[in-house]
Structure 1
Amino acid sequence: MANLTIKDIARISGCSVSTISRVINDRPDVRPETKEHVLKVMREAGFVPNTNARQLKIQQSRSLVFVVKGTRNIFFSDFLVQLQRAATLYGYNGIVSYLDENANEIDAAEKILREIKPKGIIFLGGSVANFQRGFDSINVPSVLTTLVTDELNFPNLSMVGVDDRAAAYTAVDYLIRQGHRKIAVLGGPVTSYPSVMRRKGAQEAMEDAGILFNDKLYGLSNYDFESAYHAMNSLLARRADFTALFAMSDVIAFGAIRALVSAGFRVPEDVSVIGFDGITMSRYCVPVMTTIVQPSEQIALQSIELLVRQIEHGSPAQTVTLQPELQQGESVRAI
């Protein structure tokens, strides 16, 4: 039997996909008789996971490439695990390619297509301008995930994510409803589409509440701890007057909180902080982060499903916008 997947082995053996996965990974939480049965089925079917020969075959016939823009973005790290899990369920192997935040993801994808020849590509983050200039050269089914825009329209490019503008509006509106009027914002540059949309959403929430958006309270930061730490220190050095902070990612929020605490401020007693993404760490940090939670598992599964439909059935590209949720933690107080 050719091109068998763990789903095939699950069907033949009468076991679940998760059980097959545990047997392959030699997990201890499988009954010995079940493990022996699965291994027997695998031997008889000629299924050999994780060998060099199989890997080479996968690269030619069942591979997907995940192009990750931002090597230090923890949200993408968590998200990749969910993407890999979803790809495996559909019988595909995910190959990860990491890029710097300022790299051109389309140039990287063109090189990957020449070297690996994957069945499809999922872009984690990206520049709308880069896609507008160069995506015509990408001839395989693709999904731009965690970013949704009406500025891109390609027959082989689906998009899955949240409405960044509306989500940021929700975050800042929440701060305003807690009584805050002096709100600082930390986020990315104009080359980052999500940052631009989140800034617009924040600005609209302030304007609807009769608050003037103050450019002096906007700090530029990449999506990593160190950059956020320095961005907050720059705001503090300018003696910026604010009672709350909207950070465009949880990672930015963590870096900013470290700078605030180092400068003698308490969160939320002196400065309230709301983040964005809802990464796992946000629920276990001190204080527990108030944040906008992206439905990352749903985004990952939807991205893989759309890509597989394009690959296997020639389905048209789609744009799917999912709803985030406000996670109320301990980092925001009413004043």
Structure 2
Amino acid sequence: MLDRYDALLFDLDGTVYRGGQALPAAADVVDAAHARGTAVRFVTNNASRAPGAVAEHLRAMSVSADTAEVSTSGQAAAAVLSERLADGDRVLVLGTEALADLVAEVGLTPVRAFSDEVKGVVQGLSPQMTWADLAEGALAIRAGALWVACNVDRTLPTERGLLPGNGSMVHALRVATDQEPVVAGKPATPLMRQSIESAGAGRPLVVGDRLDTDIEGAVSSGVDSLLVLTGVCTPEGLLRAGEHERPTYVLADLTGFDGPADAMRVGSGDGWEVEVDGNTVRVDGSGDPTALLRALCPAHWSAAGSLTHDARSAAARTALTTLGLAIG
């Protein structure tokens, strides 16, 4: 991969770490990229923390990271606002103080209450968000303020399970105002574009665990992507992926990153034979279950309807079961 791409754009939660622990080989891959001179960017839809705090969190897990290597949806949202508003304009911040600081850094004036002078609204996730905050936002949006959402992720993965994400709060204001925000984070292009430009990349690779943000964001930006199965996406979910959210490569986790790139490409399936017969996919052979998943993707993506799996060998049955895919 490091022979093919001049920048790696990593998602964080579910890709580089889960909770407070780095995922397998994540630190090694980052170190290898740094040693090779390949640019690294940590690209996150989380707008609740400042870039420096994100870098510090990564270093605490032994993942080498500099503040300049962090690109957040909060930074992208602030950039969108600065492009469309005048210097010094007031922006109502629905989010953390870290998001307010980013607004101030681009020459705008963060405020917390609606007034006739408010020209913009920026919305990012904050655990302290209240009805009163949303009410101020609704007033500003209805008065014509430019509304920018850091991201529209419906859920937030935590160690306790999936919790309401910023997208759920954004939807509340959609219903209350009959308006649509400008979206800065993945899968929209502002955050991805900012990350690519800051890395000075001509051929970047997006690495992530979510189809609807990381991979769709890569497709929207016209760049290649690598899906890892260490976070949100399941094998079954990958086989159902729409054309706008299909990765270039697939790995179970980052431990295989230093292998031959073509072996990771969707459609490759070393050791496996996949044959479509009507609505049935016949699977024979043996090998790595993730290689079988890569081989199955084209069959499922080109099918007009759902397909069932027929295991023609004991190894095929075991691999399909390991992937959580139904047989018969």
State the TM-score bracket (shorter-chain normalisation): 0.3 to 0.5
- Structure with the higher fraction of residues in helix conformation: 1
- Structure with the higher fraction of residues in strand conformation: 2
TM-score by length of 1: 0.32
Which is higher, the Rg of structure 1 or of structure 2? Answer: 1
